[in-house]
Structures are given as C-alpha cells and as structure tokens.
Structure 1
Amino acid sequence: MGGVDTRPRAGEMRACAADFVARATARTRLPLDYSERSLRVVDFLVDGLRKGGADRERARDALSGLGAYVGEVLVRRAGAVWVDFDADQRAYFGQSTGVRMPDGRVWNPLGKVLNRFEAGGPEDSLQTFWLKLHGRARREQAGRRTG
C-alpha cells in the first residue's frame, strides 16, 4: 500500500463530524443532534446508502462522515476522547482513528458504520451499539445540543 495516509487524525474528527452534519442537514431536517437517539437516524442513512445501490467506494465520504458523527456522539455523550490508533490498532481496525472510553477501552466508530453498510443486520445497528456500549462514563454527559 505505502504512500501517505490522508485520513483525518484524531484532532480533526470533531470538525469532520460537524462538516458532515452541515452537509447532511443543508437540504433536509435530519435530527442529527449528537444524541444517542440520533444513532437511529445513522442506521437509516447507512441502510439507505446500501439499498440505493451505492458501493463502498462511492459511499466512502458519506460513510466516513457518519463514522465521525458516531464517534462524536461517543465523545459528547459517553465521555470518550478521539485517539490516533497505534500501528497494532490500525492493523486490527483498518482505521487510523477511533475513540477511547473512560475505562480505557478503544472503539472504532467508522468500522461500526462500515459493518452496518456491508452487513446491514440488526446486530450491526449503531443504536444497538450504543445500548450495549461498555466503558461509558459513570454518569453520561448531557452535552450541548446543537442545531
């Protein structure tokens, strides 16, 4: 593979999520408010891409934006922080960034979105992922509602 990795780094992920939300809500009133409830909308959007016949490459930007959004929900609502994966984590997850939960567990939000896109089963739901999520802050942060 070689070459320079042009994927966003941890410090850029909040802006990636905000850019995605701005683009996704420019023409429609999608409830992308960084709440855990909005992960149901993410499921709907990913399913729409898949059912619309988009292949992974054509859907790459949208899937990356959705992955950044899911990660940002974890940051705002579960006490996670964006992290750049080390070499072993990059090899395992196939991504350069993810989130670290307050208990030290590392999650790959983009990978979760890609799994939903590729498999689309109920077990790949982002809303279900939230409900089963380990390592959240003991008291979930209220976060600021946007939009």
Structure 2
Amino acid sequence: MTAQTETRPPAAAKPVRWAADAVAAMREGARLRLDYSAQSLWRVDRMIEEIRREGPPYAAVENVLRGFGAYAGEVVVRQTGAEWWATGGDHWIRTPDGRLWDPFEEARRAYEGNGSLRLLCRDATASAERP
C-alpha cells in the first residue's frame, strides 16, 4: 500500500477502483493509454463521443461511463488536491475551495452530447487555483 492510498478518505475507495478499471479496460480493449493527466481527458471525451454515435442505450454503457467519470474525478483529485466525498451511494469530488463536482453526472451529460470531462477538469482546476 502506498502512502497516497493510506491517507485517502474511505469515500475514495470505490471511485479509485472504478477509475483503475477504466484505465485497464481502455489499455486492453481500445489500446488507449490513460495516464491521469488533464490532457488524457481529451481521449476520454472522444471515446464517449464514439460510443454515443454507436447509439447503445444508456443502461448498456452505464458502467463504462461510471468508470470514465471516476477517472475524470481522480484526475481532478490529483491535479488539485481535491477529495472524494460520498453520501447515500453517490460520489463527488470536493476541491480545496469547497466546491463540489460530479464527474459521474458530467460523464452522463457527455454521453447525451451536453457535457465534457475535459472541461469539468479545466473548470475544477481553475476554481481550485483561485485565491
């Protein structure tokens, strides 16, 4: 166990696992490397767009989108020092400025054509940098 995982709040356990599963699935299935950088979210947004164009029902891709949302949340956590929060089975990230962000909802919105995990990361990172 690394020092980083030892100090993570319990709310991080599931999203961190979902993110790692998404990274592994993309590496093995799509030959796409995700490195937890903000730039990698461009690739995730494009992957969501490709899935959307294929037209599967939301229920068929819900777990994939959950993984992408968790991955985006973990990118924000690593970029800003944010923390995962959980209540009643829902997970969010809280940036140091106190704002709550829902990367899972943003992944769903991206699938519907109205969201972007890259832009969520950009906005959350900019918000955390403000004094």
TM-score, normalized by length of structure 2? 0.81
1:76 corresponds to which of 69, 78, 81 = 78
Q: Which residue of 2 aligns with 1:30?
A: 32
Once the two structures are TM-superposed, the CA of residue 29 in structure 1 deviates from its matched residue by: 3.0
Q: Distance in 2 between matches of 1:29 and 1:77?
A: 24
Are 1:117 and 2:117 an aligned pair? no
Q: Which runs of 5+ in 2 are unaligned?
A: 1-10
Cα contact 1:79–1:137 (8 A) shared by 2? no
Q: TM-score, normalised by structure 1?
A: 0.73
Instruction: Map 1:1-147 onto structure 2 (within 5 A).
Output: 10-85=12-87, 96-118=90-112, 120-121=113-114, 124-133=115-124, 134-137=126-129
Q: Which runs of 4+ in 1 moved over 6 A?
A: none
Shift of 1:28: 3.6
Indicate if the aligned counterparts of 2:26 and 2:33 stay in contact, CA closer than 8 A.
no
Structure 1, unpaired ranges of 5+: 1-8, 88-94, 139-147
Query: Structure 1 residue 35: deviation in Å?
Result: 0.2
Query: 1:129, 1:16 → 2: CA distance?
Result: 18
SS at match of 2:13: helix
Q: Sequence identity of aligned pairs in percent?
A: 36
> Equivalent residue for 1:5?
none
Give the RMSD, CA atoms, in angstroms.
1.8
Check the 8 A contact 2:22/2:71 in 1, yes or no: yes
Which digits, 9 at most, give the CA deviation of each residue in 1:8-57, with x for residues without a partner? Answer: x5422111111111111114431311000011011101101110111100
